[in-house]
Amino acid sequence: MIQLDEQQAAARTWFESLRDRICAAFEAIEAEAGSAARFTYTPWDRTDPDGAPGGGGVRGVMKGRVFEKVGVNVSTVGGRFEGDFARSIHGAGEDPRFFATGISLVAHMANPHVPAVHMNTRFLCTTRRWFGGGADLNPPLPVAEDTTAFHDRLRAACDAHDPAYYPRFKAWADDYFYIPHRQVHRGVGGIFYDHLEGDFDADFAFTRDVGLAFLDIFPAIVRRRMDEPFTSEDVAAMQVWRGRYAEFNLVYDRGTLFGLKTGGNIDAILMSLPPVATWA
């Protein structure tokens, strides 16, 4: 077991409680659709390169009638970054010791009219301490009403803390969730932030509100679309779009790289990949 200080323990407890609330909400949607699907939880442990205990996490996965594949992971890890990777991490260039705790969620939906979604929030400690994360909507077949509702809810969460947050973090998401070799965005955006530091209580409160905003808006969008009829052409379009999603996560996603470079659980790291995808 790695030892946690008061801030680290508070962040871990929040991410685990948010996981429980999100999973319960998603299981309720499956029940409404007449499905008995439930999350299966798999714990995993991490060993630091020097052989010391390095924390671990729990991978939660559900495959149902509405959620074709959804993963909700929580992890709390610590130790030392290896080699040159330390210099790429905020505050770790001179001291490679680190701590990280967070929640990561990706949902791929059975109905092409229901948008896929990603949400991740985290707390990291090196020689600096900061929060990061965000949420972004990834519809294979975009609907303006859903995009507007998603952004409006995130804007409200941001505006409650700082009116400058939403335009800044929306632009950051637009820049980050972009596939250069395709010259397309991965989805219709959301917010993305990192290195939010200086006032632990304020930054933690904002991070909690991002999680609560996601919990409020995404199930509402799912319920709005999950019973819409769809065609085989819609499914084919979704599977091509999923190929783009997989390309981004394998080539550009910083969270994937962080997990691989720090000895995380491979299945948990790659749970973001869609169950079925196609390439032309």
Q: What is the pLDDT of residues 64-96, one digit of tens each?
A: 999 999 999 999 999 888 777 878 888 888 888
Please give the share of the chain, as a percent, with pLDDT higher than 90.
81
State the pLDDT confidence band at 53, using cuts at 50, 70 and 90: confident
pTM above 0.75, yes or no: yes
| CB environment 190-220: b (16+ within 10 A), e (fewer) | bbbbbebeeebeebbebbbbbbebbbebbee
- Neighbour count for residue 156 (Cβ, 10 Å): 14
Note the pLDDT of residue 2. Answer: 81
- Neighbour count for residue 20 (Cβ, 10 Å): 13
Note the pLDDT of residue 47. Answer: 85
Topology at the third CATH level for domain 6-272: oxygen-dependent coproporphyrinogen oxidase (3.40.1500)
Domain ranges of the chain: 6-272
CA distance 262 to 98: 10
pLDDT at residue 280 above 90? no
Q: Which of 118, 151, 161, 185 is catalytic?
A: 118
For the segment 127-179, what is each residue's pLDDT rounded down to a tens digit? 999 999 999 999 999 999 999 999 999 999 999 999 999 999 999 999 999 99
Sequence-distant contacts of 252-261: CB under 8 A, at least 24 apart: 252/179, 252/180, 255/104, 255/120, 258/100, 261/81, 261/82, 261/85
Phi, psi of 126 (to 5 degrees): -125, -125
Note the pLDDT of residue 271. Answer: 85
DSSP 8-state class, residue 169: H
Sheet holding 53-62, edge to edge: 40-47, 53-62, 67-80, 97-109, 116-125, 129-138, 189-196
Greater confidence (76 vs 49) lies with: 76
Does 118 qualify as catalytic in the annotation? Answer: yes
Note the pLDDT of residue 176. Answer: 95
Q: What's the average model confidence in pLDDT over 7-25?
A: 98
Do residues 25 and 78 touch, judged by C-beta distance below 8 A? no
Write down the residue that tokens 């990561």 correspond to: 104
Q: Is the dihedral of CA 267, 141, 221, 214 positive or negative?
A: positive
Note the pLDDT of residue 1. Answer: 65
Separation of first and last alpha carbons in the chain: 47
For the segment 211-266, what is each residue's pLDDT rounded down to a tens digit? 999 999 999 999 999 999 999 999 999 999 999 999 999 999 888 888 887 777 88
